[in-house]
């Protein structure tokens, strides 16, 4: 299956006038693994069973097809892996690690490889090993809308018949060349060639392609010719197994996908594969039972556990905390189903099912007594915009308490919310916020066992803003209007940049401004700039909110943020029409006077507009 998960892109570059030191608070104290590289032995096969260090190996986990996507942050990868471990998962599976055919993919065009994409893939593999999580990696995606879709190989050769992917010798050679490049690639973080890394449990010849036996024989044998360490699997289209795979000596695993969940099909398919002496896994399933005709999760999980022919399973699919606040959103995939899982859950049903999945995962590993829940690490306050508080969550967190001080960043503190809010409810709104005076906030996370983690850093709500007219409320425009390059705004506008109110011809496809009632807009290559005076030898974070124009979009607007026309803080591309919080890395200021500038890049071409609001430079 293929989801449509996307996130904003943010690239932090070196500064000329501002020294980039370190991210403020990693928020990852609970994420550090106990071993440098926990996956030290290869998973092997003995007939229809997986083995690890001479013992039967059974697993449960979750697909995370987004791992390796452009725009992923190290925090999100670490958060997802830590969450999977909290859930008892020991294996994950990703389609983006071997993406192709798009500018940000691993192979954007035939025989051309993207070092940035390899670095993303390398980081995922390295950190999976650190956390003791194994990876199953399909080498091409069969979904026609996927980012690793097999049709690129025929397209690159000018062949209109996609089925020649299986028969055309040139196309097959092209695919084999990619396989060789990927398996022989040396991970920049571990120094280990992927073909020699025990973190990888298996390669799959393809994801959800029912392939001819001759092709599967050719590709699986080619993989085994390069890599004698890893298992090789086949993954036909959902709801079926490919019986012709089972007679191929170089195929070890048959990967079955369930949309809907079906206990009858599970038992029938597992028996067929076991009788052929191959390993059977349920590599994807609709855990939420959204698919019409689905069996319940409460019947499917015991069937997986109780059938010794089933070596492992993975629910589709787990998403991490966002790098800014809340969770990464999930959208309907190719079946039109929203099967994303946020842990411990957005709704009562999701929370219940998440704990069922956790209990099941430990049961598959032979553990009947559940361990204590993960104690969360340190959340990171990101922004305070009016009464709204934004913070980055941490793996294992269930609830938060919110504290407020009207004296200083050191307190004294008043608890205004006791274990009353979650990342699913972000941002938190302090409806009792005093109308004037200085205010600081901090939050404290709690685990599902009610054990407290570590406090976030304190963040000031007002009085710390050094950007004038930071929410573009001046000049006050008439309701439902906009103005290009308004005067008396403190900001300087160039090109097609200006200010718009809620409900204007620009903004009527977007939610209301997150801070006040007006926003700045960057259309095409327009820019906005303002002088700022900062304290020298002081650390700052630049935060702001941004969104794409909702009522007209031609590929989306991206923009860069810079100081004094040259020192680039980062380039950004909001993901949609909902306002998102962006935050820079920690910035140590060396001189006081600067000009802050937002510049439209319009890399997609055409008429694109982004909205900017609530710009702050805060000490952090």
pLDDT at 4 over 50: no
Query: What are 467-481's pLDDT values in tens digits?
Result: 888 999 999 999 999
**Lowest-pLDDT choice from 21-25, 293-297, 437-441:** 21-25
Query: What are 498-521's pLDDT values in tens digits?
Result: 999 999 999 999 999 998 999 999
Tell me the mean pLDDT in the region 568-577. Answer: 87
How confident is residue 464, by pLDDT bands cut at 50, 70 and 90? low
**What percent of the chain clears pLDDT 90, i.e. is strictly above it?**
73
Q: How far apart are CA 60 and CA 150, in angstroms?
A: 28
Could you say which DSSP state residue 175 is in? H
Q: How far apart are CA 566 and CA 16, in angstroms?
A: 7
Cβ(572)–Cβ(584) below 8 Å? no
Q: Which residue has the higher pLDDT, 197 or 464?
A: 197
Among 490, 495, 570, 585, which residue's Cα sits nearest to residue 532?
490
Question: Which residues are registered as beta bridge partners of 92?
Answer: 62, 135
**Lowest-pLDDT choice from 62-76, 355-369, 410-424, 576-590:** 576-590
How confident is residue 15, by pLDDT bands cut at 50, 70 and 90? very low
* Residue ranges of the chain assigned to CATH 2.60.120.260: 482-619
Query: CB under 8 Å to 537, separation ≥6 — which residues?
Result: 588, 589, 590
How confident is residue 55, by pLDDT bands cut at 50, 70 and 90? very high
The DSSP string of 282-299 is EEEE-TT--STTPPPHHH
Cβ(56)–Cβ(69) below 8 Å? no
In this structure, CATH architecture of domain 54-364:
Alpha-Beta Barrel (3.20)
Mean pLDDT of the chain: 89
Cβ(467)–Cβ(531) below 8 Å? no
Give the pLDDT score at 462: 67
pLDDT at 16 over 80: no
How confident is residue 292, by pLDDT bands cut at 50, 70 and 90? confident
Which residue is it, tokens 């000329």?
16
How confident is residue 582, by pLDDT bands cut at 50, 70 and 90? confident
**Lowest-pLDDT choice from 333-337, 454-458, 557-561:** 333-337
The domain defined by 482-619 folds into Jelly Rolls (2.60.120)
Give the pLDDT score at 72: 83
Q: How far apart are CA 66 and CA 514, in angstroms?
A: 28
pLDDT at 25 over 60: no
Q: Compute the radius of gyration of the chain from its Cα atoms.
A: 26
Among 422, 415, 424, which residue's Cα sits nearest to residue 446?
422
Pairing of strands 9-12, 580-583: unpaired
Query: What are 524-548's pLDDT values in tens digits?
Result: 999 999 999 988 887 777 889 999 9
**Lowest-pLDDT choice from 331-345, 353-367, 574-588:** 331-345
**Lowest-pLDDT choice from 66-80, 260-274, 382-396, 558-572:** 558-572
With 0-12 / 13-18 / 19 or more C-beta atoms within 10 angstroms meaning exposed / middle / buried, residue 158 is exposed
Tokens of 11: 């690239």
**Lowest-pLDDT choice from 166-170, 328-332, 363-367, 374-378:** 328-332
Predicted structure pTM score: 0.84
Give the pLDDT score at 1: 59
Q: Is the peptide bond before 245 cis (omega within 30 degrees of 0)?
A: no
Task: State residue 69 phi and psi, 5-degree precision.
Answer: -65, 150
Tell me the mean pLDDT in the region 177-181. Answer: 98
Give the pLDDT score at 152: 95
Using left for φ > 0, alpha for ψ between -120 and 50, and beta otherwise, residue 407 falls in alpha
pLDDT at 39 over 80: no
Tokens of 583: 């935050």
**Lowest-pLDDT choice from 24-33, 173-182, 186-195, 371-380:** 24-33
**Lowest-pLDDT choice from 253-267, 322-336, 437-451:** 322-336
pLDDT at 584 over 90: no
Tell me the mean pLDDT in the region 580-589. Answer: 77
Which residue is it, tokens 């104290």?
29
Provide the 10 A C-beta neighbour count for residue 294: 19
The domain defined by 380-462 folds into Immunoglobulin-like (2.60.40)
* Residue ranges of the chain assigned to CATH 3.20.20.80: 54-364
Q: How far apart are CA 271 and CA 243, in angstroms?
A: 12
* Residue ranges of the chain assigned to CATH 2.60.40.10: 380-462
Tell me the mean pLDDT in the region 246-251. Answer: 97
């Amino acid at each position: 299956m293929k989801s449509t998960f996307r996130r904003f892109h943010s690239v932090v570059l070196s500064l000329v006038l501002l020294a980039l030191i370190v991210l403020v608070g990693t928020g990852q104290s609970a994420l550090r693994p106990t071993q440098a590289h926990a996956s030290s032995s290869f998973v092997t096969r003995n007939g229809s069973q997986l083995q690890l260090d001479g013992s039967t190996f059974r697993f449960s986990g979750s697909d995370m097809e987004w791992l390796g996507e452009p725009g992923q942050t190290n925090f999100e990868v670490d958060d997802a892996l830590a969450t999977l471990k909290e859930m008892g998962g020991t294996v994950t599976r990703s389609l983006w690690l071997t993406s192709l055919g798009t500018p940000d993919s691993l192979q954007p065009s035939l025989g051309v490889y993207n070092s940035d994409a390899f670095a993303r893939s390398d980081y995922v593999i390295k950190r999976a090993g650190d956390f003791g999580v194994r990876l199953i990696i399909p080498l091409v995606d069969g979904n026609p809308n996927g980012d690793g879709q097999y049709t690129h190989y025929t397209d690159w050769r000018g062949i209109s018949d996609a089925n020649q992917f299986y028969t055309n010798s040139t196309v097959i050679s092209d695919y084999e060349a990619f396989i060789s490049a990927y398996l022989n690639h040396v991970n920049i973080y571990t120094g280990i060639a992927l073909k020699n890394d025990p973190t990888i449990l298996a390669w799959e010849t393809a994801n959800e392609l029912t392939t001819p036996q001759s092709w599967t024989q050719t590709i699986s044998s080619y993989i085994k010719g390069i890599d004698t360490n890893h298992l090789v699997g086949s993954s036909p289209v959902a709801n079926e197994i490919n019986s012709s795979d089972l007679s191929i000596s170089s195929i070890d695993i048959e990967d079955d996908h369930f949309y809907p969940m079906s206990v009858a099909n599970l038992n029938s398919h597992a028996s067929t594969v076991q009788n052929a002496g191959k390993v059977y896994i349920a590599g994807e399933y609709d855990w939420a039972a959204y698919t019409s005709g689905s069996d319940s999760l409460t019947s499917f999980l015991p069937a997986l556990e109780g059938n010794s022919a089933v070596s492992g399973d993975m629910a589709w699919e787990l998403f991490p905390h966002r790098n800014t606040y809340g969770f990464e959103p999930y959208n309907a995939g190719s079946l039109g189903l929203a099967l994303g899982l946020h842990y411990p859950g957005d709704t009562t049903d999701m929370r219940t099912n998440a704990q069922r999945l956790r209990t099941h995962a430990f049961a598959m590993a032979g553990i009947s007594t559940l361990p204590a829940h993960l104690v969360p690490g340190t959340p990171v306050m990101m922004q305070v915009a009016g009464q709204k508080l934004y913070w980055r969550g941490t793996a294992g967190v269930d609830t938060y308490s919110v504290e407020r001080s009207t004296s200083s960043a050191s307190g004294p503190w008043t608890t205004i919310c006791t274990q009353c809010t979650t990342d699913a409810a972000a941002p938190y709104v302090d409806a009792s916020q005093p109308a004037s005076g200085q205010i600081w906030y901090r939050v404290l996370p709690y685990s599902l066992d009610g054990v407290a983690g570590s406090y976030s850093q304190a963040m000031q709500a007002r009085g710390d803003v050094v950007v004038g007219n930071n929410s573009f409320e001046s000049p006050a425009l008439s309701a439902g209007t906009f103005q290009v390059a308004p005067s008396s705004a403190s900001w300087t506008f160039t090109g097609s940049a200006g200010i718009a109110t809620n409900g204007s011809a620009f903004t009527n496809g977007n939610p209301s401004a997150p801070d006040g009632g007006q926003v700045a807009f960057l259309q095409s290559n327009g820019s906005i700039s303002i002088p700022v005076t900062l304290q020298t030898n002081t650390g700052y974070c630049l935060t702001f909110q941004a969104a794409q124009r909702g009522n007209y979009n031609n590929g989306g607007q991206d923009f860069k943020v810079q100081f004094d026309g040259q020192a680039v803080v980062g380039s950004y591309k909001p993901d949609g029409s909902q306002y998102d919080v962006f935050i820079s890395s920690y910035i140590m200021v060396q001189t006081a006077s600067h000009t802050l500038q937002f510049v439209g890049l319009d890399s997609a071409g055409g008429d694109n507009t982004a909205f900017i609001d609530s710009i702050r430079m805060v000490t952090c």
